[in-house]
Chain A
Amino acid sequence: MISYEHTIAARIAEHARHRPDVAAILFEDVRVSYAELHAESNRVGHALLRDGLDRGSRVAYLGRESHHFYTIAIACAKIGAVLVPVNPRLTTVEINHVLRDSTAEILFVEHEFVSVIEPLRADLAALRQMVDMDAPGARYGRFLRWFAGGPTHDLDLPVDTDDPVAQMYTSGTTGLPKGVILAHRTFFTFIDNMRRAGVDWIDWRPEDRSLSAFPGLHAGGYAWFMHSLSVGATSIVMQSFVAGEAGALIERHAVTTLWAAPAMLQIVLSEPDAGPHRFRSLRKIVYGGSPISPELQERCMREFDCDLVQAYAAAETGSFVTCLRADEHTPGHPKLGSAGRICPGNDLRILDEAGVELPPGQPGRICVRTPAEFIEYANRPDETAAMKVDGWLRMGDSGYLDDDGYLYLRDRINDTIIVAGQNIYPVEVENVIRTHPHVADVAVYGVPHPRWGEVVHAAVVLAPGAQVSPRQLMLFLRGWIADYKVPVGYRFLDSLPRNPTGKVLRRVLRAEDGGARAPTTGAPRTAGTAS
């Protein structure tokens, strides 16, 4: 049975009908009402159909955020196509992989990134069409021409809430990004379950003016936008996160709700022109994506005069799993070091290595059951099967529950490093460092950092007689991996510490760098990672 009600297509049509003049998006000086967004995305949807795109087709977007990005996203949702956002700051190797892996048939690309794509096109067999968004002297001019004159009537195609709608690429355990496929339902179940339970721990209201510091190119920002859209709120869209601009936007548009990583909050608070005048319109800030230090947590409580909520989630969970509520953000609250309690509609348990459920207080693997969960990893059935077991998501984090059901995060099972909310798998960095002719062996690991949560360090074993400096290694890596993945610290060792079976002991390296991941710091880890 088709369930259309909980689809992005149905929801925007409803808003266009019942509140057509309400602003859906504010982007720079552009205001897009729900009626306009609905009509424009219909046009783009018709143009996609005209060009041969269809249900299940992958539609890639390479560029920064704008109202047009979301118009394309909604158009995809209406015709049953799947949006594949491509972060322009990925390296050429990574962009090539994303476009190949997703088998994107059409690519919308901002003009300044066209030169990145041109050399790759011969390799991209599935890519039939590239739409350069910009014309000389006319930003977005070519894109506007591409769909101009098309019909605006509703598409009326059968779209189901379980249909895929977005394929978000995140760091992969094997070294290249993997596509997390999300369904329409992902963006509705959380709100429904909170309403059903009669709580507003994390909420979106029709009158909200909502700002996500996470970009829509990533699961966190995309999900936040779609949740806002589902209730008919107004989303403030930034081309990219700019600290001074974020504060100014909050003031200018009287933003009521903000979704950000702790590092972003720190940057916003540290701007010289930060102050109560900037933030007085805020009613709620939801933060997550990386650990927050107790110091920053206290500062946020002190300087933002609004509700603060911490959330634990991952791309694979689709939406929030646990939350530390606003009323628990008080100085000295006993649960401040936790990631909060399970949100209504979700379920959580802690398992040991044998899959046996553990009692409160005993740490093990965090497993989550949520109706918002992802569909699958693109082209990785084995990894999907390993992640989804008997209806539970096996998270990459370890932790424990206390007697009151609050989740305390301890460590990441798969050595994932999280730099300001961005997952980095050591192997993807190690693979590149190993290509240096003077490197015999290497291990990459995360070291706690007061601002970024963690930073990347590398322990390197050089080939006999070889000499290379940390700076030479750092410069060598540029262009091969995204810049935030490049280690900021290097050590040279005669050999790497290994266990009896030969596995590198990254926790030993971490501890030697003064970065043991101990559960006693009280700093909650808020970023979920898939195993």
Chain B
Amino acid sequence: MTTTRAPAVERLRHLPASERRAELESMVTEQFRAVLLIPDDEPVPLHESLFALGMSSVLIGEVQHRLSDLLGQNLHSSVLFNSCTVAQVIDYLTTDVLPDMFPQSASPPTALPPAITRVLWDNVLHEMGAGAA
């Protein structure tokens, strides 16, 4: 699945396997830090609900694009809507997006039930739906 030459991916590729997870975590949390306006001296909570962290539909779209740019490939928009926490996003990236670099990953799939996906998507619906006839 990983076919790009995105600098971030190349950087991961050149790291020892044991260090890749930490580096990926650092890259991903920086994207969340930026959009959630979390100060540099505060940690990005990995296991707190994205919505409790202040994630909105606009911000989710923003993170999706940032991660797509970072990894050099279009990420399914359901990735973030199917993930409750930053850690789950990272798990998904290691198992489904960069599996060749994380072959030992034993993380379970992160998908949530469709009903939850639906609720989260409704935020996008709301932001896009009104206004013009």
- Chain A residues with a Cβ under 8 A of chain B: 64, 87-90, 170-171, 213-215, 217-221, 223, 239-244, 261, 263-264, 267, 270-272, 288-290, 312-315, 317-320, 418-423, 451-452, 455, 469-471, 474-475, 478, 482-484, 486, 488, 490, 526-529
Contacts and interface: CB of A to CB of B under 8 A. Distances in A.
Contacts of A240: 118, 121-122, 124-125
The prevalent SS among residues of A at the interface is loop
A214 B54 contact: no
Contact of A484 (B56, B73, B77, B78): B56
Interface stretch (B19-27, B32-40, B102-110): B32-40
Given A452-B61, A471-B37, A490-B37, A221 B78 contact: no
A448 to B, nearest CB: 14
Interface in B38-78: 38-39, 54, 56-59, 61-62, 65, 68, 73-78
A141 B101 CA distance: 49
Interface in B71-87: 73-78
Q: Which 5 A-B pairs have the closest CB atoms?
A: A89-B126, A484-B127, A483-B56, A289-B132, A240-B125
B50 to A, nearest CB: 12
Given A240-B121, A469-B39, A87 B77 contact: no
Contacts of A213: 128
A488 B131 contact: no
A452 B37 contact: no
Contacts of A220: 129-133
B123 interface: yes
9 contacts: A218-B130, A219-B132, A241-B125, A244-B76, A314-B132, A314-B133, A469-B39, A488-B35, A488-B59
Contact of A170 (B38, B54, B62, B131): B131
B123 to A, nearest CB: 6
Contacts of B57: 483-484
B76 A271 contact: yes
Contacts of B37: 469-471, 474, 490
A64 B123 CA distance: 12
Given A219-B133, A240-B122, A261-B128, 14 more contacts: A215-B129, A241-B124, A242-B117, A242-B121, A243-B77, A313-B132, A318-B133, A452-B61, A452-B127, A470-B37, A483-B127, A484-B57, A484-B123, A484-B126
Q: Which of B38, B68, B74, B128 has the most chain A CB within a 10 Å cutoff?
A: B128
Given A244-B77, A469-B39, A474-B37, A488 B129 contact: no
B128 A214 contact: yes
Interface residues of B, number: 35
Contacts of A219: 130-133
Contacts of A455: 58
B54 A474 contact: yes
A319 B133 contact: yes
Given A240-B125, A451-B65, A471-B38, A484 B58 contact: yes
Q: Which of B68, B117, B118, B129 has the most chain A CB within a 10 Å cutoff?
A: B129
A526 B131 CA distance: 11
Given A240-B118, A484-B123, A271 B74 contact: yes
A421 B35 contact: no
A424 to B, nearest CB: 9
Given A471-B38, A488-B58, A317 B65 contact: no
A259 to B, nearest CB: 10
Contacts of A288: 132
A312 B132 CA distance: 8
Contacts of A315: 131-133
A263 B129 contact: no
Q: Which of B54, B61, B74, B132 has the most chain A CB within a 10 Å cutoff?
A: B132
Contacts of B61: 263, 267, 451-452
A214 B129 contact: yes
A241 B128 contact: yes
A263 B65 CA distance: 12
B51 to A, nearest CB: 9
B58 A170 contact: no
B121 A421 contact: no
Nearest to A264: B128
Nearest to B33: A471
